[in-house]
Structure 1
């Protein structure tokens, strides 16, 4: 049994994905097939000894689609997708330029000299060049007795074009039978433009779907250095085997998971844990792929390689989460699959009913009714119902600093009743700062200058925080004997005085007296989860620095507002329990968990979802990416990592929690608009199609003119757009 994600080509609507999925699922040897129209990928599981990919590819090709079974480089696939999107935008632009004068002539200047010939000249390239793919795909499907929206578009515009062309060059035929000679070029050209526009908007919304995975994959370096008998041997990461010894130099990314053998250094694991402080790695400490080494060097033995690494597992989980289908999309897929054959059948039935009705010119009237049914039933309003609402919502959201990814995000936001918040960078600012100090009686400005100078020579985040605290102090320039001890602190001489700055344990080992008021003052800070750094001068304690990641000014108010909306708040963090407890108490959060790894956050989220809760997740780091992908609505802080923002469905530009209540309100209003659009689009077809077929003719003698049907079709689209624009208010 093999399982693989395979790109699918040639799909133009949700019905296409259903058709490919059905064909694959019905093939002998295929255990399961799920085709995602959002990213044009089929997740296939099959028995290799029963059916080959080549055979499945031929089966799909026979239905008018394609499977890219050859392994394609990620960069090449992205390039192909971008080129297709740019080509679609260009077609849409040209179609709009040509369709506009056709629409104006057909609707307002029908009597202008040579008007029909001008419209024919402009409409022909719209159909045969810009809209060519609709006719090609419809023909491929017809050969396999299948149909999708391309079929409906091709039939309605094709018949309208052929009928109008006939009347343009042979107007006397209908005139001799006492019938008015009309052309419907504006309907054909505008339909093509609107469908292309809808596809362009849809493609734009889906653009960048794989960017998050790309960034995750780019975290792992492709090259590394392996030690073999004391020699440094360059290798590709993919060539390394379990048990080999890897050398990591300052500033390098760690390529694989493993255990430190020799050396020590601080490693920035914020892309996994979300916490800002680098972690000391000494002998036997675990290191993970994608994390970044600081200034030291060390060697480690590779224990997890390839798909076994922590980073690779996160990538796979994100891919699985992104590939899932939203419930509303499944419903729309089913409706689309039924809508098209029903409309086709109604059109043909209308033609024959009229033809055998016995009324004057019955077959001609049947043809006009057939055209009218297919023109009025063209799914322009359905195609625009969601994209126009998305555009309006995105525009309004952007004004408020809220970036929304797609329609699914908007649909999910309506039912959210639980919110998970990451701590660092989401509730807090994400940068350690000195929040309190205590100085001895002998403290003076000269001591401040010395400590400023010493800490300025260190790249440790805590040293930077202390140095920044003395921003207006001029540092001493007579330092000597500077020394840094990993995990302990720093020391140096300033003139005749020796300063030691670091942990309580380290200063005690240097015979610094760690008693008295300053030490007592630090106890409360430790209980609140703050980090405490001590400074001694000539073995006398002179200063205590309390360092913490401050809570954002707007976080407390935003959390209270969310609670008033009935949202249950949970805080998950990789930080220590004391710090998490203090932040939860200060912000009024009742549910929190500390010291959590990425998979712990994902498991916690799943547990909430298993209780029937609709869960949103807000975070800013790579460590949040798995949970973000699994959440019913994922929200990223704009000042967080690019990966968190790419995975998330909503990005808050200002990294302000007060935007989350606004986001949820906007999603509810937008979903309401989308549902109204879909409702009116369907009602339009439910009412319009019977009238177009002639249901009112026996009672009132009324037969809808295809020209009016074209106008009604355009009006339905305008009404959908107008309704969507209400979101801007």
Structure 2
């Protein structure tokens, strides 16, 4: 299936099979599902029905996903091959037709080169047009097939039998270059579309790759390796350091820190101990544990993420293009005018009735050539995509560039989007009476260097200048869920949370306690550093805001766009970040499915939603949104799902992307105007409306030149987009 129209045709054909109760087609994943009565029909009947309209399905194979991938790769290679050969063969035809039309055997050389362009490289346009005709419809394929076919057949007649025109005192013009160039240009557009589509399923494959293929479970006979797919609820699964959790469950023994960014998006791994939940696709850190499987197969949170991404991508099948809509009306009108022209001239043409009737009707079809129409959208889109790349916006999906100017609601993820996405030390408050801070900094560095706590890396990074000292710990102890203890130069030192300090009855200065409370109110994590007598310092750690976050939010709001923030983090942190950047609409402790549902709820209110995120946990919402934007430093899956990727951490690029969309759509509309104005003026002239007035009859060669001029005007207008300003203050 190459377009949304294909998906509709496949679905309607499946519905038409006797015994089918329901059927659905997912264009994004190239799959179909059917509910049917097996007494009346079955997969073989579905296959036959689809083959009758030019499609096919894969059934009864050991690995259907692999076979589908092979088929899609073969199709892409065919499209690429057709495009390359059509461009190579069309170029000499164009040069001969434009500059060397009078050289010996020029028409014959052009004809020989044009035949493979039309009937090998461009055969898909003719078969597509025939399918549409059988259903009483017309689209761009119809217009391409009709104009190139007529131009080719007329040229072949003039090549083989030029005397027909010579005897009537006229030159036998040929139009091979028009036919070949049209096929070559539109094939190039098809190739670019196919290239984009070939990557649509890679995000889903990566999501599936987050689940290990095999796992180790505990059985009565001991440990045993089994396929993940064979797990059942109640199995005891072993997770070692660096392994991914295979299914959802509850820890039964052991403890570790688990990176849950795939689910919550938060950068700090979460400590897991007995009776705590773990989720499929999350990454275990240094410890090991056992857990009891509770949700397996399609019931896990990861499986739901994969399913929702598939459904959301499928529901976003590209809208029917304006060009196809117009072509559906334009093609019958042009054919009608050409036939009417022929009939009128045959009736009222006098002595040269047939000659004039043939010339005028062919001129009508040639001047209605869809070259400018075919170039109107892709040239503007290509220039817009190039302009976006120059502004740090990578645009994969032309549809998103066309849609972005309609956005009136932007949903922002917090971690990695509004914030840097990594914990850093923002402040260290020392006890005022402490004077040997350099030595104590070295001790704190060594303590955190040996700690397995995820936040320890932020402290060692902040104190990196003290890392070169030779100050080994004489003794080191990790205290679960509280912190660490070490002996340095015969004295005990502690680093950890408030529970650690209270448990060891260590005194804390009132000023330090007050500072710690203020930091916690700002949603910062506080680490206490102490010796055996008193707290020596409090260290604040947080995920800092990006410098441009607040400015980007203000710019979006100034453009009349509602801004929302979603995060898996706690309410206190979410409130602090939202207040700082100026967002009043926010939700905390949001899981991936809830992000997608939130986007759906906005869409149900008739809002055009842009989702901006960076993590695997954002992939569902990105796939659901009308326009999806990923941060370039985020996860590969987020970037695969998203239609746009920002290759900078500067969020003020988001408003620029929306403005670029507006300018691009304006250019497309201008191009379509220029593409049609030539037809509005040229078709009546080609039909001979001026002949009764002043004897003017448009030669088909001039009609071809007018067609070329319309293409030049369209391309030139698209290139103007390179110079247009896209700053926010010019919106």
Q: Normalized against structure 2, the TM-score is what?
A: 0.91
Shift of 1:471: 1.4
Q: Does 1:580 align with 2:574?
A: yes
1:199 to 190, 196, 199: 190
Alignment of 1:467-482 (within 5 A): 467-473=460-466, 474-482=468-476
Tell me the SS of whatever aligns to 1:117: helix
| Distance in 1 separating the partners of 2:297 and 2:415 | 30
Of 559, 563, 568, the residue aligned with 1:565 is 559
Is 1:56–2:46 an aligned residue pair? yes
Instruction: Name the SS of the counterpart of 2:499 in structure 1.
Output: helix
Q: State whether structure 2 residue 56 is matched by structure 1 residue 66.
A: yes
The gaps in structure 1 that reach 5 residues or longer are 1-7
Q: Structure 1's 420 and 273: CA in aligned 2 closer, same or farther, altered over 3 A?
A: same
Distance apart, 1:68 and its partner CA: 3.6
Kept in 2, the 8 Å contact 1:573–1:595? The answer is yes
Q: In structure 1, what is the equivalent of residue 710 of structure 2?
A: 716
Partners of 1:70 and 1:354 in 2: CA distance: 60
The residue number in structure 1 matching 2:314 is: 323
Matches within 5 A, 1:165-564: 165-229=156-220, 231-325=222-316, 328-329=319-320, 334-357=325-348, 359-440=350-431, 441-442=433-434, 443-473=436-466, 474-514=468-508, 516-564=510-558
Aligned-residue CA RMSD in angstroms? 2.7
- Name the structure 2 match of 1:4: none
Against the structure 1 CA distance between its residues 531 and 15, is the aligned structure 2 distance closer, same or farther, given a 3 Å change threshold? closer
Query: How do 1:93-172 and structure 2 match up within 5 A?
Result: 93-136=84-127, 149-172=140-163
Change beyond 3 A, Cα 1:584–1:141: closer
Compute the TM-score of the two structures, normalised by the length of structure 1. 0.91
Residue deviations 1:283-332, cap 9 Å, x none?
22111111101111111122212211111111111111111247853765
Q: How many residues align?
A: 718
* Superposition deviation, residue 274 in structure 1: 0.8
Measure, in 2, the Cα distance between the counterparts of 1:235 and 1:616: 42
Q: Which of the numbers 648, 670, 674 marks the counterpart of 2:668? A: 674
Q: Which moved more, 1:48-57 or 1:548-557?
A: 48-57
Structure 2 residue 657 is matched with structure 1 residue 663: yes
2:728 counterpart residue number: none
Any idea what SS the aligned residue of 2:234 has?
coil
Kept in 2: contact 1:15–1:149 (CA 8 A)? no
Give me the whole-angstrom Cα distance separating, in 1, the residues matched to 2:477 and 2:293. 32
Q: Deviations over 1:72-114 (max 9, x none)?
A: 5434433443443343233323322322232232223322333
C-alpha separation between the residues in 2 aligned to 1:494 and 1:644?
46
Rounded Cα–Cα distance in structure 2 between residues aligned with 1:571 and 1:587? 10
Q: Is the 2:407–2:610 Cα contact (8 Å) retained in structure 1?
A: yes
Q: 1: distance between equivalents of 2:318 and 2:87?
A: 33
Which residue of 2 is the match for residue 3 of structure 1? none
Q: Secondary structure at the match of 2:406?
A: coil
| Greater mean alpha carbon deviation, residues 369-378 or residues 492-501 | 369-378
CA contact (8 A) 1:64 1:137 kept: no
Q: Displacement, 1:352?
A: 4.5
Task: Write the distance in 1 (CA, Å) between the matches of 2:130 and 2:457.
Answer: 68
Deviation at 1:561, TM superposition (A): 2.0
How far apart are residue 670 of structure 1 and its match? Answer: 1.1
Provide the C-alpha distance between the structure 1 equivalents of 2:621 and 2:659, rounded to a whole number of angstroms.
Answer: 23
Distance in 2 between the 1:488 and 1:336 partners?
70
**Which deviates more from structure 2 when the two are superposed, residues 251-260 or residues 702-711?**
702-711
SS at match of 1:113: coil
Measure, in 1, the Cα distance between the counterparts of 2:53 and 2:688: 35
SS of the aligned residue for 2:232 comes to: coil
Measured after TM superposition, the shift of residue 641 of structure 1 is 0.7
Partner of 1:23: 13
8 A Cα contact 1:453 1:475, kept in partner: no
Show structure 2 runs of 5+ residues with no match.
724-731
> 3-state DSSP class of the match of 1:532?
strand
Q: Structure 1 290/458 Cα, relative in aligned 2: closer, same or farther at 3 Å? A: same
SS in 2 for 1:479: coil
SS of alignment partner, residue 506 of structure 2: coil
3-state secondary structure, aligned to 1:273: coil
Q: Cα deviations across residues 409-457 of structure 1 (Å, max 9, x unaligned)?
A: 1222112222221111111111111111112223432221111112122
In structure 2, the partner of 1:604 is 598
1:496-554 CA deviation, whole Å, 9 max, x = no partner?
A: 12222111102221232245322222010011110001112234321210111111112
Matches within 5 A, 1:569-648: 569-648=563-642
Secondary structure of 1:298 counterpart = strand
Q: What is the distance in 2 between the residues matched to 1:519 and 1:576?
A: 22
